[in-house]
């Protein structure tokens, strides 16, 4: 709980550095132009970049970049995590990257409902699947409150890396998100 409180305080302090907060409803409206299939396509692109040149790809996702959502509420389309060490690998915010990269960070992360979505997704990836979705409720940069969202983990074969992305939506079900992984 102490960790979650610290993260919420950080987000509250960090929000003004990006822009005036946007209402939750306006955030959902902006994200409604994306579909789960769009997010899968973008994570597949990140996976291809990692397979081609891991070092360059990790540098690319350690910053806001051309693959970020184009305007507030912005975020990188992907971050890179490692389920084998339960930690993040690439994260766009310089002031949070060190904490994100600490071993077992993914175990500590909780959404506002106290769930551990990253632990759940790492467990799902232990099976013979290429990716998995789960739902969480959490804060998003530039939004003035928590958003319900689907969180995607996509394996990068032959590497320890997993591509992570999220898509806020107040209407999509877990089944709606999961359909986007079907061939």
- Phi first, then psi, for residue 83 (nearest 5°) are -70, -30
The C-alpha atoms of residue 172 and residue 152 are separated, in whole angstroms, by 14
What token pair was written down for 137? 């409720």
Distance CA 38, CA 44 (A): 10
Domain extent listing, the chain = 2-179
CA angle 20, 173, 153 (to 5 degrees): 75
pLDDT over threshold 70, residue 114: yes
> pLDDT for 144-183, tens place per residue?
999 999 999 999 999 999 999 999 999 999 999 999 999 8
At the topology level, CATH places domain 2-179 in Beta-Lactamase (3.30.450)
Q: Which residue has the higher pLDDT, 113 or 78?
A: 113
H/E element, 153:
strand 146-155
The pTM for the full model equals 0.84
Show the tokens assigned to 55. Answer: 């070092």
């Amino acid at each position: 709980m102490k960790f979650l409180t610290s993260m919420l305080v950080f987000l509250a302090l960090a929000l003004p550095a990006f822009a005036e907060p946007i209402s939750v409803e306006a955030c959902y409206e902006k994200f409604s132009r994306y579909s789960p299939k769009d997010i899968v396509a973008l994570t597949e692109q990140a996976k291809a970049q990692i397979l081609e040149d891991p070092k360059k790809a990790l540098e690319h996702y350690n910053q806001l970049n051309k693959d970020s959502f184009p305007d507030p509420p912005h975020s990188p389309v992907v971050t890179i995590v490692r389920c084998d060490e339960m930690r993040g690998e690439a994260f766009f915010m310089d002031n949070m990257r060190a904490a994100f990269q600490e071993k077992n960070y993914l175990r500590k992360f909780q959404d506002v409902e106290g769930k551990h979505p990253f632990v759940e997704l790492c467990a799902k990836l232990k099976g013979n699947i290429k990716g998995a979705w789960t739902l969480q409720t959490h804060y998003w940069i530039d939004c003035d409150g928590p958003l319900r969202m689907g969180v995607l983990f996509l394996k990068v074969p032959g590497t320890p890396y997993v591509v992570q992305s999220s898509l806020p939506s107040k209407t999509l079900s877990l089944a709606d998100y999961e359909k986007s992984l079907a061939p």
